[in-house]
Amino acid sequence: MSGAFRTLGSFYFSDTAVFRAVCLITILCSLATPLAAQSSDHADWADEILYFVVLDRFADGDPSNNRDVDLKGKGTFHGGDLLGLTQRLDDLHDLGVTAVWLTPVVKNIDHYVDGVGFPDWGYHGYWADDVNRIDDRFGDEAQLKALVDAAHQRGIKILLDVVYNHAGYGSAYLKRDDVHDWLRTGRRQSPCGDDDLTQCLSGLPDFKTENDAVAEYLLKAHLGLAKRTGLDGFRLDTVKHIEHTFWQKHRDRVDAELGRDFFLLGEVWGGDYKVLDEWFVNDELDGGFDFSFAGSVLGFINGRGRTIAFSRYLQKRHRVRGGHHLAHYLSSHDVPGLLHQLNGDKTKFRLAVALQMTNSGIPTIYYGEEVGRLGGDWPDNRSDMPWGERPIGPGRGLPRDEDLYTYYRSLIQLRKQLPALAVGDYQELSTEGDLLVFARTAADRQPVVVAVNRGSEPLQASVAPPPGWGAGAGEDRLGKATVVRNAEGLVLKVPAQSVQIITEQR
């Protein structure tokens, strides 16, 4: 026996041969571990098309659960439910959606809130009354599992919105003697703080997630539901209002109980690649929402600022920490719809959609955008899904723009057919005047050139073909035009307020 002691983890070995054998076994076991368990990059999510549904406003599949429904009320329940979403999965599959994010389904408070000029109910799901129950106005756990199973059959993942930070106004938790000290409520014995972590956001009762008992209760409820129903991930609400130690514990529990493939997409208000890094650096989140994208796109297509400044903005988005993702949207339930901000100008809106689908990140479609739902300021940004004359409530009779739907579908198909649009690097090719030309390139992927003319006149540019381009001319895959090539390179002629997505001519 050797007189030297060696350690492996917490074990001590006095024999060199035994130590070497254990090391070899450890290495071989690590090599046998599935890649998904070792990797934290969730690389496949770069290819996803995410569709965000406010469940109550989407589709009513079971009128028997329509409690507290008033279709004329802006803050009332409108009847959308889990069964209705399940019945509409083929529509989403046809559009090209590969993942659905739906608002929380836990039981919400049974009363409305005054103070906004109309009765405001918890139809959105963010005012929990009991995190261990599904609100019967949305359905039940069996219907949630049926939704997940049906989605998986179509290659669609399901992300459930989860709120760890707060309960609803007047929640039952405030009346329970066993948990009265779990919440900050603003009362003398449970004051709210002035910082992000201890404030009572919008006056909502604030869970003391730093308390081990509170954290365990919430984790057990939400992770248990995910495991029982087969969810693919969580959209995490109000992330910056909860301490990092909780999110690190959350990650460990998710990995242990749900697997490393379970995706965590967080809402950090004001987030972008730089702000979100605080949650990426320790792998607390896999992705986060890019709050900068919609405003930057709006400014560009409205002619504000220099084209080169917008191009450099798009380039900077690629600085996101490796293995993590930005999810970029044009509209959401918390901000005015982009089409509304454009005063209904669908020509400009198409430019915005094209920019969303040709840039890095997870494109996130807010329900109804694809058929021209105008949205508006709150609460009109949560209006009913338009179904036209199809017998689907609550939005039956609301007009749909089927041409816009076809445009969305074409762009989504191109993003899937041309993987460089999802995973490629950004190369600036031209930024003169109102014409932006950039390339998306990736190893072993077909390079793509994107040209966006925000101006009111046709514009022309000659650009050098990007790396990986052969000797051929170009082809506009969106508008089907041929792009001439000469000694100067590719000669682009882009009509006013239009987009070209160009690959080497086939």
DSSP string of 197-242, one letter each residue: TTS-GGGPPEE-TTSHHHHHHHHHHHHHHHHHHT--EEEESSGGGS
**Full-model pTM:** 0.91
Q: Which regions of the chain carry the CATH code 3.20.20.80?
A: 35-165+209-417
Q: Please confirm whether the linkage preceding 391 is cis (ω < 30° from 0).
A: no
CA 13/CA 9 separation, integer angstroms: 11
Homologous superfamily (CATH) for 35-165+209-417 = Glycosidases (3.20.20.80)
Q: Cα–chain-centroid distance for residue 461?
A: 35
Tell me, what's the pLDDT at 20?
Answer: 52
- Structure-token match 């409108």, residue found: 78
Residue 426 bridge partners (DSSP): 440
Tell me, what's the pLDDT at 10?
Answer: 34
Residue 220 makes CB contacts below 8 A (sequence gap 6+) with: none
CA 255/CA 42 separation, integer angstroms: 13
Contact 184, 208 (CB under 8 A): yes
The whole-number mean pLDDT for each consecutive block of 10 residues of the chain, a chain of 506 residues, reads 36 44 44 37 82 98 96 97 98 98 98 94 98 98 98 98 98 89 89 96 96 97 98 98 98 97 97 98 98 98 98 98 97 96 98 98 98 95 98 98 98 98 98 98 96 98 96 95 92 98 95
Relative to beta strand 183-184, strand 206-207 is: antiparallel
β strands within 103-188, DSSP E: 106-108, 128-134, 157-162, 183-184
Structural fold of domain 425-504: Immunoglobulin-like (2.60.40)
* SS3 letters across 256-297: HHHCCCCEEEECCCCCCCCCCHHHHCCCCCCEEEECCHHHHH
Phi first, then psi, for residue 377 (nearest 5°) are -75, 160
Contact 447, 316 (CB under 8 A): no
Tell me, what's the pLDDT at 367?
Answer: 98
Q: Please confirm whether the linkage preceding 466 is cis (ω < 30° from 0).
A: no
Q: Which regions of the chain carry the CATH code 2.60.40.1180?
A: 425-504
Residue 181 Ramachandran class (φ > 0 left, ψ -120 to 50 alpha, else beta): alpha
Nearest to 11 by CA among 1, 23, 3, 2: 23
Tell me, what's the pLDDT at 29?
Answer: 41
Nearest to 432 by CA among 478, 492, 480: 492
Residue 388: both structure tokens together: 């036209």
Tell me, what's the pLDDT at 151?
Answer: 98
